[in-house]
Amino acid sequence: MTKKHLHFYGGVHPQESKTASGAAIVSAPLLATYVVPLQQHIGVPAKPVVAKGDKVLRGQLIGEPGGFISAAIHAPTSGTVKEIATCLGPAGNQLPAVILESDGDDLAAEPMPALDWPNASPDELKKRIAEAGIVGMGGAAFPSVVKLSPPPNKTIDTLILNGVECEPCLTADHRLMLEKPEQVITGARITARVLGVKRVIIAIEENKPDAVALLQEKAAGTEVEVRSLRVRYPQGAEKQLIYALTGRKVPSGGLPMDVGCVVQNVGTASAICEAVCEGKPLYERVTTVTGSPLVAPGNWRFRVGTPYAEAIKLAGGVKVDPVKIISGGPMMGMAVYSLDIPIMKNCSGILLLAADEVRQYESSPCIRCGRCNDTCPMGMMPGILSVQIEKERFELAEQWHVLDCIECGCCAYGCPAGRPLVQLMRRAKGEVMAARKAKAAKKA
């Protein structure tokens, strides 16, 4: 029997452009040098545990967590530490990094012992997830062990695995589900054991019927349920996903755990399976490299620390010059100005756009059409908010719940005035968070 799902408010239907969905995952060849950031996650950067001149092996710890919200970093191959330096991140910021010169041998460190996960305790499993440096691989890069350790007063009864991949152009999760379905399902079951939940749902948009059918087949006889959802952006946003599957609404300022849910990306589940069942830390991931300027768009398994320039070379280089390069997808991705940026644990895609695919115009005043209100999946009023933000009325923006904005881009996508609505929201959120931090520091 097909289960009916609820539909969230708003949303848009951008062109999918998933041209690489038929391209099988290819393992990228070894490089001479890797630039491995020590901050590939939300929170505190990892602390280097190696120094210039040290010899390291693939999978060896090179950065230990720098705090509670942090993650371990491991060497992507064997070689010599050239230096501890900084590198450019996708946001244009400088990140601490380990520069690793490969020796070409790709020798592996002694793997962590495989765990008998059905009989391992939740604490043993969480310890392994932390040791492996697992973070959310859908983009947020939140340390997984923290997400899987809810406070005692929060009762979790549902685990949702996000295989929706609603962002246009990206196909890495789709290919992973097709090529590693057992890993995804086992990772989901391990995560469910950590949380102590019996209800496990893998959510996939109905534009991936092959992945839906395959995972349903592989999940038969387990506690894992595979659900097909209506195609609508941003169906994969966790609050919208929770509502569609459970009917529960995450309160303003709240988190999924407030309604008894935890949401994990399918890539994260796959990495958890590898860490627990094979003792493999997270030092590589599947990334889509796509866009009309490329000769051969596709999906590759890259070692972390691979420069974007090398990824583009693997896609055959360009046949026309791109005018914009985006880390991520067209809706929520971030434009970058350098190809020296390294692929990190949360890099789901690299997108190149040609001149005829990029609208260039000057922003004009809001015309009060209300289109952004109709498409905002959080039920906010981006147009009115943006006018107040331009006037730097950040306290008013806070009262109007600007922090609830998920930066999905629906408002800007349909704005006939071409207003930079997402950028204005980001600015206001930054100002509000800075003001709260300053207020807390003053109280302390």
Write the CB contacts of 232 (distance below 8 Å, at least 6 apart in sequence): 7, 8, 11, 12, 13, 166
CA distance 35 to 96: 10
> By C-alpha distance, which of 156, 181, 189, 328 is closest to 267?
181
Q: Was 273 annotated as part of a binding site?
A: no
Residue 72 and residue 46 in contact, taking contact as beta carbons nearer than 8 Å: yes
Q: Which two tokens stand for residue 429?
A: 């959120």
In angstroms, the CA 426 to CA 406 distance is 10
With tokens 């949380």, the residue in question is 195
Contact indicator for 263, 241 with CB cutoff of 8 Å: yes
Residues present in the chain in total: 444
Rg (CA), the chain: 22
Is residue 405 annotated as involved in ligand binding? yes
**C-alpha dihedral sign at 103, 41, 122, 185:** negative
Task: Sort 292 into a burial class: Cβ within 10 Å, 0-12 / 13-18 / 19+.
Answer: middle
CB-hemisphere CA count at 13 Å for 86?
Answer: 6
Is 87 assigned a ligand-binding role in the annotation? Answer: no
Q: Tell me which H or E stretch contains 55.
A: strand 55-56
Instruction: Report the candidate in 133, 157, 155 with the shortest Cα–Cα distance to residue 146.
Output: 133
Beta bridge partners, 290, equal: 351
- State the Cα–Cα distance between residues 293 and 3, nearest whole angstrom: 41
- Answer yes or no: is 411 a known binding residue: yes
Q: Is 277 annotated as a binding residue?
A: no
Is residue 122 packed enough to be buried (19+ CB in 10 Å), middle (13-18) or exposed (0-12)? middle
DSSP E strand boundaries for 317-442: 324-327, 334-336, 349-353
Find, among 423, 369, 429, 426, the residue nearest to 398 by Cα.
429
3-state secondary structure of 285: strand
- Please report, to the nearest 10 degrees, the dihedral formed by the alpha carbons of residues 205, 210, 212, 215 taken in order: -140
Binding-site residue positions: 366, 369, 372, 376, 405, 408, 411, 415
Binding-site residue positions for [4Fe-4S] cluster: 366, 369, 372, 376, 405, 408, 411, 415
